[in-house]
Amino acid sequence: MTELQTTHGRQFINGRRVASGEPTLTSLRAHDGAPLGPRFYPATREEASLAAQAAGQAFSHYSQTAPEVRARFLETIADELDALGDDFLTLVHQETALPLARLQGERARTSGQLRLFAQVLRRGDVFGARIDTALPARLPLPRPDLRQYQTALGPVAVFGASNFPLAFSTAGGDTAAALAAGCPVVVKAHPGHMATAEQTALAITRAVEKCALPGGVFNLIFGTDIGAELVRHPAIQAVGFTGSLRGGHALFQLAQQRPQPIPVFAEMSAINPLIILPQALRARGQALAKDLAASFTLGVGQFCTKPGLILTLRDDALASFTATLCAQVKAAAAQVMLNASTLQHYREKVDALASHPAFTLLASGDAADGCAEPRLYQTSASLLLAKDPLLLEEVFGPLAIVVTVDSEAELLAVVGALQGQLTATLHADSDDRDAAGRLLPLLSEKAGRVLFNGFPTGVEVCDAMVHGGPWPATTDARGTSVGSRAVERFLRPVCLQNAPDALLPPALQDANPLNLLRLVNGQWTREALSPSVD
Amino acid sequence: MTELQTTHGRQFINGRRVASGEPTLTSLRAHDGAPLGPRFYPATREEASLAAQAAGQAFSHYSQTAPEVRARFLETIADELDALGDDFLTLVHQETALPLARLQGERARTSGQLRLFAQVLRRGDVFGARIDTALPARLPLPRPDLRQYQTALGPVAVFGASNFPLAFSTAGGDTAAALAAGCPVVVKAHPGHMATAEQTALAITRAVEKCALPGGVFNLIFGTDIGAELVRHPAIQAVGFTGSLRGGHALFQLAQQRPQPIPVFAEMSAINPLIILPQALRARGQALAKDLAASFTLGVGQFCTKPGLILTLRDDALASFTATLCAQVKAAAAQVMLNASTLQHYREKVDALASHPAFTLLASGDAADGCAEPRLYQTSASLLLAKDPLLLEEVFGPLAIVVTVDSEAELLAVVGALQGQLTATLHADSDDRDAAGRLLPLLSEKAGRVLFNGFPTGVEVCDAMVHGGPWPATTDARGTSVGSRAVERFLRPVCLQNAPDALLPPALQDANPLNLLRLVNGQWTREALSPSVD
């Protein structure tokens, strides 16, 4: 077990701890906002620039490392994270109020994610190797030898999330994917869990040293308004972000206004519609009501995939479903949110709903000081069809809104009015199958993941996962920030024409030393090529 | 052989010819700017909007068509293009001054490209199928069944190129890739070859009808400043563009400022550095000089991949290489460019080079009225290191600039100063191998394609091709606009969780009816899955 190191509060730049000025930032206890002790130095503009430069300087070495070197590096980070003792989880708990059991799971998920990318590197999907061999006798013109592989995009700036201090933060999915791709990283630590960020960064730094990689492979800076500096820096070639629509959109705009625009993969905002079709409602309305209340209040409703909009069809079974749902919400406890500002945003949304005549409060849990109480509202489909922002925008917290429609046609219209989503869920029994078949293409247009008879809170880290979706769920529907495909965001294809075999990267060499599955002359194969004349 | 239809000059919207107002646009003869006869109606804002809407309405049907349906559609378009007689090529020649033999080749390339995408659809790469089957007994939590595939992004606006009236225009690579992906298309016809665009659109329309597809699958509008209207339209979900940096950047900015930003794949500007290492220069300097002059004057230098910057190392063999290169340039004929405005841009660049003290004219061909004469300039490495825009920016036309450096270190510095490129070329013999090995990673950072001992003008349409590269070569280094991978730009992943087999798309069904190679539980396989309990 690795003991926690004393807090320095300084930036991690090029393998060193650096700071100037005063340590004006304070880590706060989530439960009451009291200072936890450790203080942090906000990065200066120069330090942000140095961090980006360090990543830029490490790029040429790190991007050319063998996949096995990167795989071991990711596994070493995973081992270092797993070796952190209970003190570490206690620290994370203090900064975020997230329960220890959840944090234990989140840590396992974070190290498991790093190990998945190590596997992906060994499997070699990341290279996307494609070879068209020369056709010297082809008429009217010969074809040269053409070989395509994917290579690292460049240094990546990562902005971690408040709600996943481990899995979507310093050593989270964006960092793991970028490092797997061969891209050095600069993390902007989330101000809500700076001590967590520092201990995680120390774990990564130990892995960098153990693997004898350049210090600039991983950098981290503290600060509250220094992110723009990073995104603007010419060395940075991509951005990974998990957070609010406002924050993600602002960084996106900045990145597009650079002299050289760069891609931004921001995961931002979703209300994750959950549709209950009639037979499912009738057959298991009670169980659905209980599970649904548990899902949208889980973790104080602080999941990106929280089902915030419940769509039902008018039906005799609806009354008892709604009654059970209300009873569950009333019985659910108020809980501490991630921090004071999160709670305040929740209160503002609750106030906005209260003062909007079209929303009816169906149930709420008991209030408690400094806590967010679960809330269930109802409104009409017409508000959705009118694209009322209050209904279309995410409420971060334990709150859901029920909308009941009169017909399948209205349901299709309502779904059509929704913005892009991370998830969409369909509860459908066998008699609902035809309607489900009609809804599925539309839901697939709207969301990155479509679930049947389940709940969206819970994102499996695997090859098939998509945690993404059309705007405003993310800035780029073509990516996912969870699962092995996340690495694709930080890769670009390069084609080598008539390159001598000795100069080709191993992924493209005739002998296929990495034993990759490659697309050779239109056929997928692991076979080596007969050596070309060199 | 299909005879040319009489010019209507009207927009193609939802399978109909539509126009309001007056036909104020005229097709011009490239050789002298004289009106060719046909007149065209500039699309009104309403017509642009109707075209985007038509594509939007066709989306839900077309995006769900079976891959075989789309493959046959692409092949039918190819057949229709091939069936156009010599009249068609004569018309294209009149509008662009491109020689008939070249246009014959370009037409074959265009129909071949459509047929390649048909093959890709049958091979099934486009689906990127990944399946992680359920693990109901896993602890602490079971894993659901998760299946990912790629689906169409949405309607695509395509802006064709002036220099490839067939292969990068109405039925060109962007259109073919979008249609293969399942995305309906709205083409903005290039004003330089409107009659060509109309005949091509008629060929596509015949294919739409033969395949009984919705009319909105393909739309085309004429006009000179109507593109922004398309890009802003909410139904449009992606943009494909080939043209100038200024035009591409403007559309890119527009697209990012939409309430819902959308991806723009613009192929824009490159100077395509070509490096000759010492042994190659000594061994075959004369042949290199001849081939190089032919390459940068080919097609009046109007290729995106024209080698515009020639980098050599100081060497005794340099003088005779340069002398031969100059002799070739002097002997090369002046030729007619695509249109008057292209010639004018060329003249402006020539004037700018003439008035810049750091550039020396080494050779030029004989001038001729209304023609562009080949030109060869020389300048110093210091100008490149200072990132002088005149040296970094593309000159569209038969012009190249030679820069000689003193050492390999200076060569690496000069390459490091370059912007993103479509191609980079290295001429290296076996004794140059070590230097080539040091240059290759840097060239791969800079360009989408790196060639050895060849010339970049000539882009093979195949699986391994990359016609793309870092900004300003394109707006998105992660894409290619030529080759089968171009289809990826118009796809996004969707994950289906616990979906009943009957509702899954064929690509993800247990039985694997499309016989796809799929990533199942971390292994690539064509095997069917044992049926799940449904």
Torsion of CA A39, A42, A46, A52, to 10 degrees: 90
Q: Could you tell me what percent of chain B has a pLDDT over 70?
A: 99
Interatomic CA distance for residues B401 and A334, integer angstroms: 71
A387/B contact by beta carbon, under 8 A: no
Q: Which of A195, A170, A189, A220 is nearest to A36 (CA)?
A: A195
Q: Is the pLDDT of residue B2 over 90?
A: no
Helix (H), strand (E), coil (C) string for A123-168: HCHHHCCEEECCECCCCCCCECCEEEEEEECCCEEEECCCCCCCCC
Q: Is the pLDDT of residue B242 over 80?
A: yes
Q: What is the pLDDT of residues A144-195, one digit of tens each?
A: 999 999 999 999 999 999 999 999 999 999 999 999 999 999 999 999 999 9
Please give the single-letter amino acid code of residue A4: L
B471/A contact by beta carbon, under 8 A: yes
H/E stretch holding A210: helix A194-210
Q: Could you tell me what percent of chain B has a pLDDT over 90?
A: 96
Segment A99-103 shows an average pLDDT of: 96
Q: What is the pLDDT of residues A443-465, one digit of tens each?
A: 999 999 999 999 999 899 999 99
Hey, which residues does B130 pair with through a beta bridge? B148, B519
Helix, strand or coil, per DSSP, at residue A36: strand
Residue of A304, A326, A373, A410 marked catalytic: A304
Hey, which residues does A450 pair with through a beta bridge? A424, B496
Q: How many CB atoms lie within 10 A of CB B359?
A: 19
How far away is chain A from the Cα of B211, in angstroms, using its nearest Cα? 22
CB A188 within 8 A of CB A170: no
> What are the catalytic residues of B?
267, 304
A495/B contact by beta carbon, under 8 A: yes
Interatomic CA distance for residues B466 and B459, integer angstroms: 9
Q: How many CB atoms lie within 10 A of CB B409?
A: 9
How far away is chain B from the Cα of A492, in angstroms, using its nearest Cα? 4
Helix, strand or coil, per DSSP, at residue B379: strand
Interatomic CA distance for residues B341 and B192, integer angstroms: 10
Hey, which residues does A519 pair with through a beta bridge? A130, A524
CB B458 within 8 A of CB B465: no
Which residue among B450, B462, B503 places its CB closest to the CB of A494?
Answer: B450
Tell me the DSSP string of B31-71: TT--EEEEEEPPPPHHHHHHHHHHHHHHHHHHTTS-HHHHH
**Between chains, do B465 and A146 touch, taking CB under 8 Å as contact?**
yes
Helix, strand or coil, per DSSP, at residue A190: coil
Q: Is the pLDDT of residue B102 over 50?
A: yes
In the sheet where A218-221 sits, what is the strand order? A16-18, A11-13, A218-221, A185-188, A156-159, A238-242, A264-267
Whole-angstrom CA distances from B473 to A153, A239, B422 are 15, 20, 6
Residues of B in contact with A524 (CB under 8 A): 517, 524
Q: Is the pLDDT of residue A532 over 90?
A: no
- HSE-up of residue B196 (Cα within 13 Å, Cβ side): 35
Whole-angstrom CA distances from B222 to A208, A484, B40, B199, B214 are 57, 44, 7, 13, 21
Residues of A in contact with B140 (CB under 8 A): 105
Please give the single-letter amino acid code of residue A392: L
CB A294 within 8 A of CB A327: no
Q: Which of A227, A268, A201 is nearest to B260 (CA)?
A: A268
pLDDT tier, A534 (very low <50, low <70, confident <90, very high otherwise):
very low
Residues of B in contact with A477 (CB under 8 A): 153, 492
Residues within 8 A of B (CB atoms), A 229-268 only: 252-253, 256, 260-261, 263
Interatomic CA distance for residues A243 and A116, integer angstroms: 24
Q: Is the pLDDT of residue B534 over 60?
A: no
Residues within 8 A of B (CB atoms), A 411-440 only: 419-420, 433, 436-437, 440
CB A240 within 8 A of CB A489: yes
**Between chains, do B450 and A148 touch, taking CB under 8 Å as contact?**
no
Torsion of CA A496, A501, A502, A503, to 10 degrees: 0
Q: What is the pLDDT of residues A328-352, one digit of tens each?
A: 999 999 999 999 999 999 999 999 9
Q: What is the pLDDT of residues A410-425, one digit of tens each?
A: 999 999 999 999 999 9
Average pLDDT over chain B, rounded to an integer: 96
Helix, strand or coil, per DSSP, at residue A345: helix
Interatomic CA distance for residues B238 and B251, integer angstroms: 11
Q: Is the pLDDT of residue A509 over 90?
A: yes
Helix (H), strand (E), coil (C) string for B259-291: CCCCCEEEECCCCCEEEECHHHHHHHHHHHHHH
Place of tokens 């070879």: A131
Phi, psi of A160 (to 5 degrees): -75, 170
Q: What is the pLDDT of residues A13-36, one digit of tens each?
A: 999 999 998 999 999 999 999 999
Residues within 8 A of B (CB atoms), A 92-121 only: 105, 119
**Between chains, do A261 and B471 touch, taking CB under 8 Å as contact?**
yes
Interatomic CA distance for residues B253 and B248, integer angstroms: 9
Q: What is the pLDDT of residue B532?
A: 57
Instruction: Please indicate whether residue A304 is annotated as part of the active site.
Output: yes
Interatomic CA distance for residues A168 and A109, integer angstroms: 10
Whole-angstrom CA distances from A467 to A242, A267, B219 are 11, 8, 33
A404/B contact by beta carbon, under 8 A: no
Segment A290-315 shows an average pLDDT of: 96
B132/A contact by beta carbon, under 8 A: yes
In the sheet where B156-159 sits, what is the strand order? B16-18, B11-13, B218-221, B185-188, B156-159, B238-242, B264-267
* Distant-in-sequence, close-in-space partners of B22: CB < 8 Å, separation ≥ 6: B41
Average pLDDT over chain A, rounded to an integer: 96
Q: What is the pLDDT of residue A6?
A: 82
A522/B contact by beta carbon, under 8 A: yes
Tell me the DSSP string of A409-420: HHHHHHHHH---
Please give the single-letter amino acid code of residue A40: F
How far away is chain B from the Cα of A115, in angstroms, using its nearest Cα? 13
Length of chain B: 534
Helix, strand or coil, per DSSP, at residue B345: helix
pLDDT tier, B1 (very low <50, low <70, confident <90, very high otherwise):
confident
Q: What is the pLDDT of residue A7?
A: 80
Which residue among A464, A500, A517 places its CB closest to the CB of B524?
Answer: A517
Q: What is the pLDDT of residues A104-126, one digit of tens each?
A: 999 999 999 999 999 999 999 99
**Between chains, do A450 and B499 touch, taking CB under 8 Å as contact?**
yes
H/E stretch holding B218: strand B218-221
Domains located in chain B, CATH noted? 11-23+39-268+481-488 (3.40.605.10), 273-452 (3.40.309.10)
Segment A309-315 shows an average pLDDT of: 97
Which of A239, A305, A497 is the mutation pick for testing B, counting most B CBs within 10 A?
A497
Helix, strand or coil, per DSSP, at residue B17: strand
Interatomic CA distance for residues A231 and A250, integer angstroms: 11
ipTM: 0.97
B448/A contact by beta carbon, under 8 A: yes
Provide the H-helix boundaries in B377-452. 381-385, 389-392, 408-417, 433-446
Residues of A in contact with B130 (CB under 8 A): 463-464, 485
Q: What is the pLDDT of residues B130-181, one digit of tens each?
A: 999 999 999 889 999 999 999 999 999 999 999 999 999 999 999 999 999 9
Interatomic CA distance for residues A320 and A284, integer angstroms: 11
